[in-house]
Amino acid sequence: MTSPVRFLTGITTSGTPHIGNYVGALRPAVEASRRPGTENFYFLADYHALIKCDDPARVQRSTLEIAACWLAIGLDPDQVFFYRQSDVPEIPELTWLLTCVTGKGVLNRAHAYKAQVDKNRAAGADPDADVTAGLFMYPVLMAADILLFKAHKIPVGRDQVQHIEMARDIASSFNHLYGEHLVLPEAQVDESVALLPGTDGRKMSKSYDNVLPLFCPREELRRHIAGIVTDSRAPGEPKSVEGSALFQIYEAFASAEETQQLRQAYADGIAWGDAKQMLFERIDREIAPMRERYDALMANPQEIEHILQAGARKVRERASPFMAELRHAVGLRNLAAQAQGAARPKAKAALPSFKQYREADGRHYFKLVDAAGHLLLQSTGFDSPQDAGRAVARLKQQGWLAGEAAAQPAPGVDDGTIRAALALMAA
């Protein structure tokens, strides 16, 4: 079995999804989540939201809307990892470890931060005006999002590519210092998904106030579509598809055949009102069933909360043992289990190990001991050596103790130490 390719996507919870987000990011992500041989992580980046939004009600509202959106358009939380950033304490924890290997000079070059500084300079203001440390640290938090789950591919727009490159650099620095723990991620920019124009023909964006909302009542969608800017050609006059926002939006929803029909209708001089009606019908055909699910979910926030909590538990089963490994790697260690590589990671030679044995009671046991022979984990008795062996295999494979009734940490040893030991063996 080859190991799966992991994809990871985060959305900052500071706004309301529009049709441009749907076509450019949400729809392709949900389609991608069904590919075999992949693992897919989707999360609500609410810590990132705090960087640009200090309105608590808006952060909460946006988190709810974006979560409902993912579910309504067909993301299956049982098939993917779907969670909220702030439910995973390992993310800020890793952020700090990464902060300590990130050059300040690297962060000085981040676009979002630089743009603010340039703007301040141009205005003759203090260069750091309105720059929080959060804005400055944004790329490190994002690197932690990615590196914690050993993600390989990050589907992003062009504007985020620099952040992925920074995550790579940060991961390399960490690995150079502490051993090969982190996977270097790659940005995946899909050139084929067109940037959707908004109602005024510029890129669809909330900051231009030209968006078509993804989920709003049917009649409101109709009104927004009626507002799409067209030229002044009268009914009967042939129209050009070049530079027609209406046409481009239609194309993003229609089959090749349907698109061809509209192209022909343009040439035949369709009235703009009729073209808008076609666009409305076409979008609504795709969106209407999702809108129904969306409305039901929005009316039932505790269901969403429940799904997110379950998602958090699922990702933390990975994050927690990996974080234990990383804590160990940098030297945040249980002091009782001393002596594992006092200095640099020559530690490879001195791995912890499992020992299996039989006691006078006739039962079969195993234990986990560290390189210095200290007991870390003690099993209960098994009827056969095979049973004991299977429990060992399970521990090795999952690197995780939760619910493992067959073994107990030795006195004075915490879960984290054991997970780190298991991770070390697995590495």
- Say how many residues make up the chain: 427
Assigned token pair, 280: 């409305």
Which tokens sit at 112? 């979002």
Alpha carbon separation from 219 to 14, 242, 247, 277 (Å, rounded): 25, 28, 21, 12
Residue nearest to ligand TRP (CB): 10
Nearer to ligand TRP, 116 or 379 (CB): 116
Distant-in-sequence, close-in-space partners of 380: CB < 8 Å, separation ≥ 6: 365, 405, 406, 407, 408
Quick one: 48 or 374, whose CB is closer to ligand TRP? 48
- Which tokens belong to 271? 């009235």
Least distance between ligand TRP and beta carbon 142 (Å): 4
Minimum distance of ligand TRP from residue 161's CB (angstroms): 11
User: What is the nearest approach in angstroms of ligand TRP to the Cβ of residue 157?
Assistant: 7
DSSP string, 328-372: HHHT---SSS--S-SSSSGGGGS--EEEEEE-TTS-EEEEEE-TT
What is the contact surface with ligand TRP in residues (CB under 6 A)? 8-10, 12, 45, 48, 142, 145-146, 154, 156, 160
Smallest separation (angstroms) from ligand TRP to the CB of 45: 4
**Concatenated DSSP letters for 130-199?**
T--HHHHHHHHHHHHHHHTTT--EEE--GGGHHHHHHHHHHHHHHHHHH-S-SPPPEEE--TTSPPPB-T
CB of 12 to ligand TRP, least distance (A): 4
**Residue 410 Ramachandran class (φ > 0 left, ψ -120 to 50 alpha, else beta):** beta
Which is nearer to ligand TRP, 161 or 271 (by Cβ)? 161
Nearer to ligand TRP, 166 or 406 (CB): 166
Q: How far is the CB of 29 from ligand TRP (least distance, A)?
A: 11
Whichever of 167 and 297 has its CB closer to ligand TRP, that residue is 167
- Closest to ligand TRP by CB, 12 vs 379, is 12
